[in-house]
Each structure stands twice: as structure tokens, then as C-alpha cells.
Amino acid sequence: MRIDGRKNEQIRNVKVTRGYTKYAEGSVYIEVGDTKVLCNVSIEDKVPPFLKGKGEGWITAEYNMLPRSTGVRKVRDIARLKVDGRTMEIQRLIGRALRSVVDLKALGEKTLWVDCDVIQADGGTRTTSISGAFIALVDAVNKIHKEKPFKVYPIRNFVAATSVGIVNGEKVIDLCYEEDSTAKVDMNIIGTEDGEFVEVQGTGEESPMTRQELNELLNLGEKGLKQMITIQKNALKMDALWIGTGE
């Protein structure tokens, strides 16, 4: 039995609140167990210098853990005058994950800024950020599409993320912090509704993993991605109908 009574292949309870903030074009507050993240997407009618004049857009992300999102107060990056390595890695991951399912040429010369702020952390903050940010991204893109339809709807597929690992000899999904901190193997898996992997990050924390263990963890991760994408669909309802149509 796991710490919170879940089955090994069961993700934590997920709650999604759309339109959480007033001003962002897309805003989602997502709760996965005790991990809580606010995801805002803002739209700018310009692109970075390296894309100017190329007729395509860009998606970039910023990620932050608020000072009391953890048991001990975390110092703000601004106080240290630099972004720490973990933060930089995660925000790049979020950007890559979202760009993987968006036709940037269809988007046109626009930048979508994705801000993920962790209100409370209990493991899986990066995977929660990706899953929530996708919903907020859909809302932001739909706002444009309803006002002035794209020639080709730019979001091609769903993308979500989850974690898997080996804890006390058991292969489990969607690890909370206590499980994550004692895991023999810890992996983050990002994938699409079509079963394609966007990124797999896996580490043998205490000892190497076998090829069989890797395959079993990937299979378990696919189950978790399907569960999360179903949750995304239920949250978006009719606003998900354009995804993948190209219309």
C-alpha cells in the first residue's frame, strides 16, 4: 500500500480551475495531490530577434517556486540575482514540451509566454506544470482563434506529463515528495495523446535500472499520461474540439 493509499498505477487526485486569474489570456490553477501550480499564458504580438521576419511564433516558459511552497522557505531568485540551475532546466523543459505539439508557423509571429508558479510542492512540480500549462495554452490560443481564426489551427495534439519510479521495490506512478525522496529509480515522462514520447528523464538514484525495468516504467508512464490527458479533455470540454484538426 502506498503512503496515500493509491494503487501503483493510479495518479493522484487532480483538480483543474480554468480562468483563475483576470488578465492572462489563458490561466489555470492545477492541483495534483498536494502539489499546486498556477499556470498563466500571455500573448505578445512579436517574436525573439532570431525569428523576426520568418513568419513563425515561439513559446517560452518561466518557472518559479514561491518561498513557502516547501517546508523550509525558499529564497527568491531575485534575491540571489540569478536563476538557479534546476529552475532553468525545468522552464526549458516546459517550453520544449509545449512547442512539441504546436505548429509555430501556423501560430504566426506571436510569442506565448508561459508562467508556472508553484504555490505548494509535494513532488511532481515540473510534470504538474506541463499538464496544467497545456490547458492554459489551449485557452490562450482559442482566445485568438475565436476573435480572428487561424488559417490552420496551431495546436496539433495533447501533451501531458507524469512521473514514475521504483519505491520499496514497487513500480509506482505520480510520486509524491516522500516517495520521490526514497525512490531507487525516478523518471519524468512527457508524451502526447498518440502515445509518442516528447521527453524521458530517468535516473537510477541508488542503483542502475535494467532494460526490463525501464520498459515496465515506460509502460506504466503511458497509463499515467492517458489518465492526465483524459483529465485535460474533461477540463477543456468543447474547447478541445479544434485540437489536431488543423482547421
Report the binding-site residues. Answer: 86, 124-126
CB 198 within 8 A of CB 97: yes
Reading the block at residue 179, the C-alpha cell is 516517495
d(CA 91, CA 114): 9
Cell 510542492 identifies what position?
A: 121
The DSSP H or E segment spanning 137 is helix 125-147
- As a whole number of angstroms, the distance between CA 8 and CA 171 comes to 7
Beta strands (DSSP E) in 34-129 are 35-44, 58-65, 111-120
E strand or H helix that includes residue 121: none
Residue 160 CB neighbour total at 10 angstroms: 26
Place of cell 506529463: 161
Q: Which residues are annotated as a binding site for phosphate?
A: 86, 124-126
- Sign of the dihedral defined by the CA atoms of residues 129, 134, 136, 141, in that order: positive
Which is nearest to 212 in space by CA: 161, 166, 162?
A: 166
Length of the chain: 247
- The torsion defined by the Cα of 129, 15, 70 and 59, in degrees rounded to 10, comes to 10
